[in-house]
Structure 1
Amino acid sequence: MAENQTSTTELTSQYIAQVTSDLERNTKEQDRIAGDISTLKEQLLALQHDHTVLVHMQEALGGPRSAEATPASPSVPNQASAPTKQTRQAKPKKAAATGVKKAADKKTTAKKPAAKAPKSAAQPSLVDLIRGHLEKQSEPRSAAEITTVLSEAHPDRNIKTTVVRTTLENLVARSSAHRNKQGSSVFYTATTEPAAAPQSAATTD
Structure 2
Amino acid sequence: MAHDWPELDIPYHGKLLAGVDEVGRGPLVGSVVTAAVILDPDRPISGLTDSKKLSEKKREAFSEEIRDKALAWHIAECSVAEIDQLNILHATMLAMQRAVAGLKPAAEFVLIDGNRCPDMPCPAMAVVKGDLRHEAISAASILAKVYRDQQMVELEARYPGYGFAQHKGYPTKQHFAALEKLGPIPEHRRSFKPVQQRLDL
Q: Same fold (TM over 0.5)?
A: no
Q: TM-score, normalised by structure 2?
A: 0.18
Q: TM-score, normalised by structure 1?
A: 0.18
Relative contact order, CA 8 A, sep 6+: which one is greater? Answer: 2
**Which structure is larger by alpha-carbon Rg, 1 or 2?**
1
